[in-house]
Amino acid sequence: MDLILSYNFLKTIHIISFTTWMAGLFYLPRLFVYHSMENKNSKTYSTFIVMEKKLLKYIMNPSFIITFVSGLTLVLQTKQYEERWFIIKFLLVIFMSVFHMYCAKIRISFEKMLNKKDEKFFRIINEIPTILFLGIVIIVVFKPFN
């Protein structure tokens, strides 16, 4: 009974943390779209810097860490790490993590007023987490390739 309870608790933590992580990954590139349209000397430009920094520091980074720790713990508990569906899911999560880090790099470029990318670029990359998210959910639900 304790094993089931701890599994369900861990799974709950994982679902909550990846949901908040994904919310940030959906929102941050959207902020970049509007941020890139602002004059670098405007008050709004400075406001975006604060918003993006707090989103990453207080929501996305902790959610990212908790998602990884709880996910790895779950897969070790269930011993699914050798299943093909999990390996593909993990690769997609790695791509999502790289995107997260890329967004952090972009945020710094805005803060240093060095961003050279336009709103079209940010509108395109805004779709990356959606595509990865759909792939991850489909793989977890249907567990293909087994």
Task: For residue 146, name the pLDDT band (cuts at 50, 70, 90).
Answer: confident
Return left, alpha or beta for 144; rule: phi > 0 is left, psi -120 to 50 is alpha, else beta. beta
- Per-residue pLDDT reduced to its tens digit, 37-70: 999 999 999 999 999 999 999 999 999 999 999 9
Q: What is the mean pLDDT of residues 136-143?
A: 96
To which residue do tokens 């713990």 refer?
73
Q: Which domain holds residue 109?
A: 2-142
Within 10 angstroms of residue 124's Cβ, the number of other Cβ atoms is: 12
Structural domains in the chain (count)? 1
pTM higher than the cut 0.75: yes
